[in-house]
Amino acid sequence: MNESQFAKEKAKARKLRQSQWWQAKIAEGVCHYCGGNFPPADLTMDHIVPIARGGKSNKGNLVPSCKNCNNNKKYYTPAEIILRDQMNKDVRF
């Protein structure tokens, strides 16, 4: 993904962050990954498939995440997270 596409996806995410759809998602207060309950201000917007890995900023790829889960996920895809956790080491594809 080139810098122009990356910037475009980041801009879409910023716009979606202001939408009623996103406000309703974080109002539920649930982290997509750990299922924990958090105040809306403590939830971040996470791309399931990271932009850097070709993910898009659309409703199907954006989920609320607590800061801890978001930091642990980093740039991994969900499949890589499963492998990383099972193998107890970093996995890169």
What residue ranges do the domains of the chain occupy?
3-87
pLDDT tens by residue, 74-84 = 888 888 888 88
Given a cut of 90, whether residue 38 has pLDDT beyond it is yes
What's the mean per-residue pLDDT of the chain?
91
pLDDT tens by residue, 39-62 = 999 999 999 999 988 999 999 999
Tell me the CATH architecture of domain 3-87. Orthogonal Bundle (1.10)
User: In sequence order, what DSSP letters do the residues of 54-91 get, joined into one string?
Assistant: T---STTTEEEEEHHHHHHHTT--HHHHHHHHHHTS--
pLDDT at 91: 67
Given a cut of 90, whether residue 3 has pLDDT beyond it is no
Read off the pTM: 0.86
Given a cut of 80, whether residue 90 has pLDDT beyond it is no
pLDDT at 75: 87
Burial degree of 24 (CB within 10 A; 0-12, 13-18, 19+) = exposed
